[in-house]
Amino acid sequence: MKVYIAGKITGNPDYKQQFAEVEKKLREKGHTTMNPAVLPDGFDHHEYMQICFSMIDVCDAVYFLSNWKESKGACMEYDYAFEQNKGLMFEEG
């Protein structure tokens, strides 16, 4: 399954490590992942969201890190994924 990873990036100094750990776990389970934490700096929030929605479009499901509700962007990704009938997966914690 193709899985997009969603969680808090802005204001989270550990986001790269958190996303990488989840990506590793998902890949070990045989999933192909889309990880927005690897996108380069320098874009505006609305531009990142446009990119992330496109990433979600090509995935079967979205995996939400436990901190996703603290993120404006991840909440937008939840709404978008729900509207697009994507599978929703949630990290425990």
What is the chain's length? 93
Write the CB contacts of 88 (distance below 8 Å, at least 6 apart in sequence): 61, 62, 64, 78, 81, 82
Using CA atoms, how far apart are residues 42 and 57, in angstroms rounded to an integer? 23
**Average pLDDT for the chain:** 97
Task: Say what the pTM is.
Answer: 0.96
Closest CA to 2 of 52, 59, 54, 57: 59
Q: How confident is the model at residue 93 (pLDDT cuts 50, 70, 90)?
A: low
pLDDT at residue 92, rounded to an integer: 85
